[in-house]
Amino acid sequence: MAEEGQVIGVHTVEAWNDHLQKCNESNKLIVVDFTASWCGPCRFITPFLVELAKKIPTVTFLKVDVDELKSVATDWAVEAMPTFMFLKQGKIVDKVVGANKDSLQQTIAKHMATA
Protein backbone atom coordinates (compact mmCIF):
# COMPACT_ATOMS: atom_id res chain seq x y z
CA MET A 1 0.00 0.00 0.00
CA ALA A 2 1.37 3.38 -1.01
CA GLU A 3 -0.16 4.93 2.10
CA GLU A 4 2.02 3.13 4.61
CA GLY A 5 4.75 5.06 6.35
CA GLN A 6 3.38 8.51 5.68
CA VAL A 7 0.87 11.02 6.98
CA ILE A 8 -2.07 11.15 4.59
CA GLY A 9 -3.68 14.52 3.99
CA VAL A 10 -7.47 14.27 3.77
CA HIS A 11 -8.85 17.13 1.68
CA THR A 12 -12.48 16.20 0.98
CA VAL A 13 -15.38 14.88 3.00
CA GLU A 14 -15.60 11.98 0.51
CA ALA A 15 -11.98 11.02 1.17
CA TRP A 16 -12.61 11.29 4.92
CA ASN A 17 -15.65 9.00 4.71
CA ASP A 18 -13.64 6.60 2.58
CA HIS A 19 -10.90 6.38 5.23
CA LEU A 20 -13.49 5.90 7.98
CA GLN A 21 -15.07 3.09 5.99
CA LYS A 22 -11.67 1.36 5.68
CA CYS A 23 -11.12 1.94 9.38
CA ASN A 24 -14.42 0.24 10.21
CA GLU A 25 -13.40 -2.80 8.23
CA SER A 26 -9.96 -3.23 9.74
CA ASN A 27 -8.55 -3.54 13.22
CA LYS A 28 -5.82 -0.99 12.51
CA LEU A 29 -5.26 1.96 14.75
CA ILE A 30 -5.90 5.26 12.97
CA VAL A 31 -4.46 8.49 14.31
CA VAL A 32 -6.16 11.63 13.00
CA ASP A 33 -4.33 14.93 13.34
CA PHE A 34 -6.82 17.81 13.29
CA THR A 35 -4.65 20.75 12.36
CA ALA A 36 -4.69 24.29 10.97
CA SER A 37 -2.21 26.14 8.77
CA TRP A 38 -2.13 29.13 11.16
CA CYS A 39 -1.46 27.00 14.25
CA GLY A 40 2.15 27.16 15.50
CA PRO A 41 2.06 24.02 17.69
CA CYS A 42 0.60 22.10 14.71
CA ARG A 43 3.60 23.03 12.59
CA PHE A 44 5.89 22.09 15.47
CA ILE A 45 4.44 18.57 15.81
CA THR A 46 4.20 17.76 12.07
CA PRO A 47 7.81 16.51 11.57
CA PHE A 48 7.41 14.32 14.66
CA LEU A 49 4.21 12.84 13.25
CA VAL A 50 5.95 12.14 9.94
CA GLU A 51 8.72 10.32 11.86
CA LEU A 52 6.16 8.24 13.75
CA ALA A 53 4.39 7.33 10.51
CA LYS A 54 7.71 6.08 9.08
CA LYS A 55 8.55 4.15 12.24
CA ILE A 56 5.11 2.56 12.71
CA PRO A 57 3.71 1.57 9.31
CA THR A 58 1.03 -0.57 10.97
CA VAL A 59 -0.73 2.59 12.15
CA THR A 60 -2.57 4.86 9.68
CA PHE A 61 -1.92 8.57 10.17
CA LEU A 62 -4.43 11.02 8.70
CA LYS A 63 -4.23 14.79 8.69
CA VAL A 64 -7.33 17.01 8.51
CA ASP A 65 -7.17 20.79 8.14
CA VAL A 66 -10.06 22.12 10.23
CA ASP A 67 -10.51 25.14 7.97
CA GLU A 68 -10.62 22.95 4.88
CA LEU A 69 -13.01 20.36 6.36
CA LYS A 70 -15.03 22.44 8.81
CA SER A 71 -17.94 19.99 8.85
CA VAL A 72 -15.68 17.08 9.85
CA ALA A 73 -14.07 19.13 12.63
CA THR A 74 -17.55 20.10 13.86
CA ASP A 75 -18.86 16.53 13.69
CA TRP A 76 -15.90 15.33 15.76
CA ALA A 77 -16.20 18.23 18.24
CA VAL A 78 -12.66 19.47 17.65
CA GLU A 79 -12.16 22.63 19.68
CA ALA A 80 -8.40 23.10 19.86
CA MET A 81 -5.53 22.46 17.50
CA PRO A 82 -3.82 20.16 17.26
CA THR A 83 -6.26 17.48 18.40
CA PHE A 84 -5.29 13.87 17.79
CA MET A 85 -8.12 11.36 17.65
CA PHE A 86 -7.34 7.67 17.95
CA LEU A 87 -9.79 5.46 16.10
CA LYS A 88 -10.34 1.74 16.02
CA GLN A 89 -13.09 0.12 13.98
CA GLY A 90 -14.61 3.55 13.45
CA LYS A 91 -14.84 4.43 17.14
CA ILE A 92 -12.85 7.00 19.08
CA VAL A 93 -10.76 5.09 21.59
CA ASP A 94 -8.69 8.04 22.79
CA LYS A 95 -7.69 11.61 22.14
CA VAL A 96 -4.75 13.89 22.82
CA VAL A 97 -5.15 17.66 22.68
CA GLY A 98 -2.04 19.78 22.12
CA ALA A 99 1.38 19.22 20.57
CA ASN A 100 2.59 16.82 23.24
CA LYS A 101 5.10 14.34 21.79
CA ASP A 102 5.17 12.13 24.89
CA SER A 103 1.38 11.80 25.19
CA LEU A 104 1.14 11.11 21.49
CA GLN A 105 3.75 8.37 21.58
CA GLN A 106 2.38 6.79 24.77
CA THR A 107 -1.19 6.77 23.50
CA ILE A 108 -0.14 5.13 20.23
CA ALA A 109 1.88 2.51 22.14
CA LYS A 110 -1.04 1.83 24.48
CA HIS A 111 -3.48 1.16 21.65
CA MET A 112 -1.01 -0.82 19.58
CA ALA A 113 -0.60 -3.15 22.53
CA THR A 114 -4.30 -3.93 22.38
CA ALA A 115 -4.35 -4.39 18.59
> Rounded to a whole number, what is the largest CA-CA distance in the chain?
35
Selecting among 10, 23, 42, 108, the annotated active-site residue is 42
User: What's the chain's length in residues?
Assistant: 115
Q: What angle do CA 2, 14, 95 make, to 5 degrees?
A: 75
Selecting among 39, 64, 66, 108, the annotated active-site residue is 39
Q: Is 23 a catalytic residue?
A: no
What is d(CA 53, CA 31) in angstroms, rounded to the nearest whole number? 10
| Residues with catalytic function | 39, 42
